[in-house]
Amino acid sequence: MAKSKTDFLGLTGFTWFQGVVEDRQDPLQIGRARVRCIGWHTFDRSLIPTNELPWAHPLSPLGANDTVTPPKEGDWVFGFFRDGADGQQPVYMGVIPYVNTPQSQIQVLLGDVDDRELTLIPNDAQADTRNGANGSDGTSGGSNPSGTGGTSGNPSGGGQAPAPSGALFEADGSQSAMCSSDCQENLENITMPKFREMEAFCGFSITINDAIAKNGTSRERSTPGSQHFRGRALDLSTRGKSAEQALKMVEAGKSVGFTGFGFGNTILHVDSGPARYWNYGNSRYGGIRCTRLGNYVINGGQFPTA
């Protein structure tokens, strides 16, 4: 049989990682865990919330039984990516039990990495589920102990939210006490007009998953500077959209004046904060590399094509 002419694991080297476990509530109950991998995922959970991290599979020894006990939240793990440099199929092989790693040590582990992509937070013992606290989710689903909830209430955190209304948009008491006094005004006068222009530009409806930051979510602890506290950010669902439509949303967001973009597998974050971009552990969005899309939203020019 002829060898594949494309790269595959075993041909081009071993792409390994180390990271910290953030969620072990595997709906398949096969021992998977969501791991925030150093250098692959930003430590700023407002940019890559826990529920957007890929599931890491355990590597079990031959003869092991079907029951795998996953590492706990806060444990560090070592593993590799089955898909190499794409970094979407992690497998963990070993665990370093929970220790409260100082941020300075995390920075040493990170090495020379662009600070724009890594707004670090130290490990927080109060957020460890073994201490009785909820998991971190970086979204409005903080009431879910697994930390994987989304605005739709889908336990996988990936379901499309219904048409948003009420508390999602209004400073009605359910918003975080850390929200700026003008968050409602910003949302109504800046963010939503841009959003409506986006929909007109795209020619199709877009579902909003999150807007004003809510009370009791992990945003308050881990990312107090998020634009969601100022009413200047939206998380938009791309679930059910074609690659062409997802890319059209980026072009539209840039066109109407949004300056911050987060490219996820099922979401597009847009905001009116500093010009920047990030991904959520995925290397591509709409079939195009996130770095190319990031260069477009920051520097402009011709929209990238596959």
The answer to whether residues 121 and 21 belong to one domain is yes
Domain membership of residue 140 (yes or no) is no
Last-in-domain residue among 84, 115, 131: 131
Domain limits for position 48: 16-131
Q: What is the pTM of this model?
A: 0.50
107 versus 203: which is more confidently predicted?
203
- 65 — pLDDT class (breaks 50, 70, 90): low
Would you call 75 helix, strand, or coil by DSSP?
A: coil
The answer to whether residues 211 and 120 belong to one domain is no
Cβ-in-10-Å burial (0-12, 13-18, 19+) of 97 comes to exposed
The answer to whether residues 115 and 176 belong to one domain is no
CATH of the domain at 40: 2.40.50.260
Domain membership of residue 47 (yes or no) is yes
The answer to whether residues 113 and 227 belong to one domain is no
Q: What is the pLDDT of residues 234-286, one digit of tens each?
A: 999 998 999 999 999 999 999 999 999 999 988 999 999 999 998 888 889 99
Domain membership of residue 147 (yes or no) is no
The answer to whether residues 186 and 111 belong to one domain is no
- 195 — pLDDT class (breaks 50, 70, 90): very high
Cβ-in-10-Å burial (0-12, 13-18, 19+) of 177 comes to exposed
- Measure the CA–CA gap between 118 and 256, rounded to whole angstroms: 27
The answer to whether residues 114 and 213 belong to one domain is no
The answer to whether residues 114 and 197 belong to one domain is no
The answer to whether residues 215 and 115 belong to one domain is no
- Please work out, in degrees rounded to the nearest 5, the angle formed at the alpha carbon of residue 285 by the alpha carbons of 244 and 186: 90
The answer to whether residues 29 and 106 belong to one domain is yes
Domain membership of residue 108 (yes or no) is yes
Last-in-domain residue among 74, 105, 131: 131
CATH of the domain at 283: 3.30.1380.10
Q: What is the mean pLDDT of the chain?
A: 74
Domain membership of residue 217 (yes or no) is yes
The answer to whether residues 230 and 178 belong to one domain is yes
Q: Could you tell me if 135 and 146 are in contact, meaning their C-beta atoms sit under 8 angstroms apart?
A: yes
The answer to whether residues 171 and 293 belong to one domain is yes
Q: Which residues pair with 236 in a beta bridge?
A: 208, 268
Domain membership of residue 7 (yes or no) is no
Q: Which residues pair with 94 in a beta bridge?
A: 78
Residues 6+ apart with CB under 8 A from 64: none
Length of the chain: 306
- Per-residue DSSP letters for 138-157? SSSBTTSTTS-B-TT--TTS
With tokens 């109950």, the residue in question is: 29
Task: State the total domains in the chain.
Answer: 2
